[in-house]
Each structure stands twice: as structure tokens, then as C-alpha cells.
Amino acid sequence: MRPGIALIGRLVCLLAGLWIACQDLPVQAATTERIVVNRFSGVAIEGFDPVAYFVDGAAEQGTAEFEANLWGAVWRFRNEGNRASFLAHPEVYGPQFGGYDPADIARGVTIAGNPRFFAIVAQRLYLFSREANRDAFAASPERFLYEVGKRWPALQEQLSQ
């Protein structure tokens, strides 16, 4: 076997191993987005229906059949009624802080919330990067929101329009 081919084979194995090792790492959102979206598709909150959190009390996947474009993001819904409700009141149904985790914002960083870890507090939707953040927030939302209120304006300035 030629030495160049052996080197390429080792490099491919190394890259494959790194890819496998990094698959389960938490995803940190780039601080260039006002709304957390998939950078390739532009879909917000991984395609979950933001209205379903309120109506169904669960994280439910939306479909491409019922989409809306708002705030530079593509939002997906389970049905036309949810889509219409969102468009009528996006400030109510859209995730607070653009989908960034309020527990992380309180610590001074912007990390994308995972749509599977959510809480509805005072009729507002919050997404969290980890289950532990959601549980801590749910135990004392006032404390977190106080800290977020101090830090969010500066963090938001770092996010692009």
C-alpha cells in the first residue's frame, strides 16, 4: 500500500471518530440571531408548533404545510388554526427571548433553548437548553426574570438584526 493512501485512510478514520464524539454535545446558538433558527433552513424552534405548547400542553412538531414567515424566521404549525392564532398574537405565542434559554441569559450567555424543554409562566413560553435549567426556572421564575431583565438588553445588542 502506498504511504499516501494509508495517511488518507487514517485521516478519514480520525475525522469520523471526531464527528461521532461531537454528535451529543449541546448546541450553542450563534450570537448573530435575534430568533433561534436552523441556519440552513431558517426554521424556528426546530419546527415545533409554538401554539401547541398552549393548546396541547406539549411540544408538538409542526408541518411544512402550515408555515408562516415572521421576524426573519419560518414558523411551522400543526394546523391552520394554530397558524392563524400565532399570526394574530406572535408576542404571546412566540418563545420569549427569541428562543434563548432564560436561565443561561441570567448567567450572561445566549444558548439556544431546546423546544423539548419548555415552561409556560404567566402565559408566556420559555425554552431551555437543559432540563435542569427548566426545573430551576420553574422553582423561581421571578428570580430568573429579574436577572434576565438586567442582562438581556446587553446580550440582545450583540445579536444581529
Give the distance from CA 130 to its chain's centroid.
Answer: 11
Q: pLDDT band for 28, please (50, 70, 90 cuts).
A: very low
Give the distance from CA 28 to its chain's centroid.
Answer: 9
* Interval 106-160: pLDDT, tens: 999 999 999 999 999 999 999 999 999 999 999 999 999 999 999 999 999 888 6
pTM (2 d.p.): 0.79
The predicted structure's pLDDT at residue 93: 98
The predicted structure's pLDDT at residue 10: 60
Classify residue 95 by its DSSP letter.
B
The predicted structure's pLDDT at residue 32: 47
| 137 in Cβ contact with 128 (< 8 Å) | yes
The predicted structure's pLDDT at residue 70: 95
Q: How large is the greatest C-alpha to C-alpha distance in the chain, in angstroms?
A: 67
Instruction: Give the start-to-end residue ranges of the domains of the chain.
Output: 45-158
CB atoms within 10 A of CB 156: 15
Cell 406572535 -> residue: 90
| 93 in Cβ contact with 85 (< 8 Å) | yes
Look up residue 92 and give its amino acid: V
The rounded distance, in Å, linking the Cα atoms of 22 and 16 is: 10
Gyration radius of the chain's alpha carbons: 19
State how far the alpha carbon of 159 is from the alpha carbons of 32, 51, 103, 119, in Å: 5, 25, 18, 24
